[in-house]
Structure 1
Amino acid sequence: MKKIILLFALVLFASASGCASREGSAVGGALGGAAVGVGAYEYSAHRQMQQVENDYKAGRINKKEYEIRKSQIEKGSLFQK
């Protein structure tokens, strides 16, 4: 979660520094939109990982299923490792 916040802060800084020109504003807007998209995707992966852990602790899935689902989430995520 801290990495997502750091990434978002860097994108905001980059977009704010490019606001002096029309091209800078367009690039900043694109970067900001991309950061929001990545943040939403990573938040979803974080919630999925929590659900898998809760299912395993509650006994709804076994260790093998837990490892498979955890691996799938980690492969699709930048920060869930």
Structure 2
Amino acid sequence: MNFNKWLLVAAMAFLLAGNTACSRSFVGGAAVGAGGAGAAYEYQNKKALDDLEADLKAGRITQEEYLRRKAEIQKRSLIY
């Protein structure tokens, strides 16, 4: 599923780049912008996993809740 999301984003970026008369500055800027957005999204996922682990260690959630929520985070992440 995650691969399909990235494929869709890449296809949309490719189509948008084609509508700018092949402007290198636009393509480069779009790539940097997409990379920054992806990095920020993955940072949020990393923080959520760290917070989740802290909650488990502190006894605020059960192991079952930890595994359920961890699976949700991993489902929406490309790295974790």
TM-score normalised according to structure 1 size: 0.70
**Any stretches of 5+ residues in structure 2 without a counterpart?**
1-21
* 1:38 counterpart letter in structure 2: G
Alignment of 1:57-76 (within 5 A): 57-76=57-76
Moved over 3 A (4+): none
Secondary structure, counterpart of 2:60 in structure 1: coil
Flag the structure with more relative contact order, 1 or 2, with Cα contacts below 8 A and sequence separation at least 6. Answer: 2
**Any stretches of 5+ residues in structure 1 without a counterpart?**
1-21
* 1:33 counterpart letter in structure 2: G
Mapped partners of 1:37, 1:49: distance in 2: 19
Match of 1:38 in 2: 38
TM-score normalised according to structure 2 size: 0.71
Write out per-residue CA displacement over residues 18-38 of structure 1, whole angstroms, 9 at most, x where no aligned residue. Answer: xxxx71111000010000000
Alignment of 1:3-18 (within 5 A): none
